[in-house]
């Protein structure tokens, strides 16, 4: 019987240097898109997919993430006194249940694979999800929910993928595809950030993973790859043959919120998706277009 995926890892230890000076004292994952921080979108997506335990891999100066997923008694008391029940209830819906959240620290910036490895004792020997808050996805149902539906049928290691321009392959982990039906791509390997002339395809991994615990046996080796970092994609690639590996083309639009233009576009797209803001956003856009 296939084990269900109940735990999700959120690597949030990055410095966010592309958004300095905004991220000097605020984690990039707390940057707001409309009225929610990026990390809240990722947690909400995981919760919709049935995730029960949320594991944050943090670094220095990330305490505001912990504060966000905790009670703010002074604020809650103020809202209650002022009769702002709707806002109070909204704050309560943000909070995971007691015992659902844990934190571990990545003490050195050694790459995504290392960040995931730091959470190994929280995951133990069960399959798990990884969500990167930088990759914000507008979709209904959420991307991870779509992946869970596929995973329940096929198992193995499953990653969200999308096609990128050939000249951009050096920015992503790229699949070496055996077969592709337009939704699921079976892969015999993957290459981290290959140059366009040697990239095996243009099918790139984005920040959603459903992984088997066998990946930790490779991460335990602490081998470095592209950029001198411990790459999660390298560890996944080395389990191929033991664990089936597939890419899933999700339905929705992904916004790279680690990029300034991608972040601005995400704010526009999510604003236009909101019934209470759509008309106002359109009027604002008319002023500049």
The tally of CA atoms less than 13 A away on the side-chain side of residue 79 is: 15
Q: How many domains does the chain contain in total?
A: 1
pLDDT for 193 equals 86
Residue 130 has pLDDT above 80, yes or no: yes
CA dist., res. 35 & res. 266, Å (int): 12
Q: 3-state DSSP call for residue 207?
A: strand
* 287 within domain boundaries: no
CA dist., res. 194 & res. 174, Å (int): 7
Chain Cα centroid distance, residue 232: 13
pLDDT for 15 equals 77
96: CATH: 3.90.550.10
* 71 within domain boundaries: yes
Q: What average pLDDT is seen over the chain?
A: 90
* 147 within domain boundaries: yes
Backbone φ, ψ for residue 249 (5° rounding): -85, 105
pLDDT for 95 equals 83
* 285 within domain boundaries: no
Q: Which domain holds residue 74?
A: 7-276
* 1 within domain boundaries: no
pLDDT, tens digit (0-9, with 9 covering 90-100), for 195-224: 999 999 999 999 999 999 999 999 988 888
CA dist., res. 13 & res. 188, Å (int): 31
Tell me the torsion sign for CA atoms 157, 229, 20, 13.
positive
pLDDT for 1 equals 58
Label residue 31 by pLDDT band (50, 70, 90). very high
pLDDT, tens digit (0-9, with 9 covering 90-100), for 224-282: 877 788 889 889 989 998 899 999 999 999 999 989 999 999 999 999 999 999 999 99
* 2 within domain boundaries: no
pLDDT, tens digit (0-9, with 9 covering 90-100), for 83-97: 888 888 888 888 888
Report the predicted TM-score, pTM, of the whole model to 2 decimal places: 0.92
pLDDT for 247 equals 94
């Amino acid at each position: 019987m296939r084990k269900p995926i109940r735990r999700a890892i959120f690597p949030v230890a990055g410095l966010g240097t592309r958004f300095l000076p905004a991220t000097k004292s605020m984690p990039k994952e707390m940057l707001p898109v409309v009225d929610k921080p990026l990390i809240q979108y990722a947690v909400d997506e995981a919760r919709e997919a049935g995730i029960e335990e949320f594991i944050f891999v943090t670094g220095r100066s990330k305490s505001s993430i912990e504060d966000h997923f905790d009670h703010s008694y002074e604020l809650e008391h103020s809202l209650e006194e002022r009769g702002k029940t709707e806002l109070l209830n909204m704050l309560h819906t943000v909070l995971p249940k007691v015992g659902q959240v844990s934190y571990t620290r990545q003490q050195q910036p050694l790459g995504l694979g290392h960040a995931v490895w730091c959470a190994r004792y929280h995951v133990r020997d069960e399959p798990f999800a990884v969500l990167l808050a930088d990759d914000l996805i507008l979709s209904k149902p959420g991307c991870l929910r779509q992946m869970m539906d596929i995973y329940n049928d096929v198992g193995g290691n499953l990653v969200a993928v999308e096609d990128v321009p050939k000249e951009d392959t050096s920015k992503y982990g790229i699949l070496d595809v055996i077969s592709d039906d337009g939704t699921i791509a079976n892969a015999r390997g993957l290459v981290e950030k290959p140059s366009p002339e040697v990239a095996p395809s243009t099918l790139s991994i984005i920040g959603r993973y459903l992984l088997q615990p066998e990946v930790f046996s490779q991460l335990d080796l602490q081998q470095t790859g592209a950029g001198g970092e411990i790459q999660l994609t390298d560890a996944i690639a080395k389990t191929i043959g033991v664990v089936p590996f597939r890419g899933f083309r999700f339905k929705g639009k992904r916004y790279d919120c680690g990029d300034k233009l991608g972040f601005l576009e995400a704010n526009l797209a999510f604003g236009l998706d909101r019934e209470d803001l759509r008309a106002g956003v359109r009027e604002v856009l008319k002023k500049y277009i």
